Amino acid sequence: MAAVGDARTRRATVREDAAKERDANAVTRAAITRHGGTSALIDPVRVDPTRVDPTPADPTLAGSAQVDAALADSALADSAQVDATLADAVPVDSALTDLPLADPAFRADVLAGLSRRPRAIPARWFYDRRGSELFEDITRLPEYYLTRTERSILSAHAADIASLTGPGRAVVEFGSGSSAKTPLVLSAVAPSAYVPIDISGEFLRDSVAELERQFPKLPIHPIEGDFMHRLVLPAALANQPRLGFFPGSTIGNMNAPAAVDLLRAMWETLGEGSKLLIGIDRIKPVSVLIPAYDDAQGVTAEFNLNLLHRINRELGGTIPVSAFRHVVRWNDTEARIEMHLEATRDVSFSVDGCPFAMSKGKTIHTENSYKYGPRDARLLLRSAGWTPIGEWTDREGLFGLILAEARAVPAAP
Ligand code: SAH
Ligand code: AVI
């Protein structure tokens, strides 16, 4: 009897939670609709019309969501009519206009990501200044084997890499961050120029200042931007051969279609005959992977939770951050580490004037980190027109560093 009673109570609670979420989400949908759907949420001046938005519901670094598509996909689509009365109750106009500094793409991704089911926000939004600093702290953690392993591979094989690339190339680094590994490459390959590309602007400028001190004669052309967009390289590089550098297994933060799209875009940006040096993390026992993303000091948890602080700071959010916890899972089917933020109690909050509710135990999916076997990694590169010409790993085979060449794809036999 008790069990039946419990089950009934649980069902009733679930229904109530769902109703609460529907109410909050109906208001959000109304607010978005009142402002003309997606276009009202994206400042036409600042949004790149060439951007291609990959499939939603995956927190890839690439994924910039389409608000309308996401809403249509989500449970919200069930609340057929937009309730104008509810919409009027929300001070949307002031909320939207009082936040002049918010990146419209960030706002659109967050609103769409919190509206869809499962909830998911693209991982690239981790990297405000604080997020970049926290990532640097992560790279020094004993559990986070990736950075020190890749660095040791680069040091051990710099001469081989240099002999395969040849001197005089412009080095174009995607997601350069602190550029901490870059001196190893620049010192080895005698570059003609260096182009670091990163979305985290302030951090990029600091890193460039440091590199200029180390390489005073090297022309450096930083680009603050999203590497998923079409990028125009500085005119000074017009006739220089190029070497792309994409370390850190940042490619692992994208699902396979987004990764192939990005690698193809790099091929186009860098051009035929270019080389690409890319770091890709390998599949390994879960006993090593989980601690790398759930460290004892809680730095990765802070990195994950900083996304909620950023939403509160930049989008006028009222998210009770202490009601969320960092959760890490290994998804064996997809061969990826997943990071989530789980509500530890029922919560309701607003972002940019739009109300949201989450029941205890529900999560926001914030990052995927795909891991590849050596053959899978090479196939990924080939799928985008990059032919591997060199490959190095560490003694334990934890991490792979691949040098590939942009070749014209030959006709199939
Ligand atoms: N390359 C460094 C940093 C890796 S962290 C290393 O190997 O340690 C990932 C970096 O990519 C961060 O600096 C982040 O700001 C940047 N980044 C993430 N998504 C991006 C995007 N879509 N466009 C440009 N930079 C991006
Ligand atoms: C940047 N990227 C490759 C890191 C990773 O390992 O997926 C980001 C990160 N997330 C948690 N820890 C580190």
CA distances to 33, 114, 186, 359 from 120, rounded to whole Å, are 21, 7, 37, 15
- Asked if residue 124 has its Cβ within 6 Å of ligand 1, the reply is yes
CA 268 to chain centre: 21
Ligand nearest to the CA of 369: 2
Residues flanking ligand 2, CB < 6 Å = 138, 146, 248-250, 252-253, 293, 300, 303, 367, 369
Q: What is the number of other CB atoms lying within 10 angstroms of the CB of residue 287? A: 7
State the distance from the centre of ligand 1 to the C-alpha of 278, rounded, in angstroms.
13
46 CA to centre of ligand 2 in angstroms: 27
Span from the CA of 198 to the centroid of ligand 1 (angstroms): 6
Decide the pairing of beta strands 399-406 and 275-281.
Answer: antiparallel
Interatomic CA distance for residues 44 and 267, integer angstroms: 28
Q: Does 145 sit in the ligand 1 pocket, CB within 6 Å?
A: no
Q: Please tell me the predicted confidence (pLDDT) of residue 230.
A: 77
Q: Which residues of the chain have pLDDT under 50?
A: 1-17, 25-57, 62-97, 99-100
- 297-312 pLDDT, tens digit each: 999 999 999 999 999 9
Number of residues that this document lists for the chain: 413
Give DSSP secondary structure letters for 8-59. Answer: HHHHHHHHHHHHHHHHHHHHHHHHHHHTTTHHHHS-TTTS-TT-----SSS-
- Residue 304 Cβ contacting ligand 1 at under 6 Å: no
| Nearest-angstrom CA–CA distance, 297 and 163 | 41
Q: Residue 272 corresponds to which tokens in the numbers above?
A: 């035929």
Separation of 29 CA from ligand 2 center, angstroms? 32
Ligand 1, atom nearest to 248 Cα? 7
DSSP string across 269-292: HH-TT-EEEEEEEBP--HHHHHHH
- Residue among 125, 132, 135 to mutate when testing ligand 2 (max atoms within 8 A of CB): 135
Distance between CA atoms of residues 240 and 273, nearest Å: 11
- Please report how the helices 2-34 and 104-115 are oriented relative to each other, as an axis angle in degrees rounded to 10: 150
pTM value?
0.82
* Two tokens, residue 251: 């490619």
Give the model's pLDDT for residue 110.
Answer: 98
Q: Which residues of 296-335 are buried (b: 16+ CB within 10 A; e: fewer)?
A: eeebbbbbbbbbbbbbbebbbbebeeebbebbbbbeeeeb
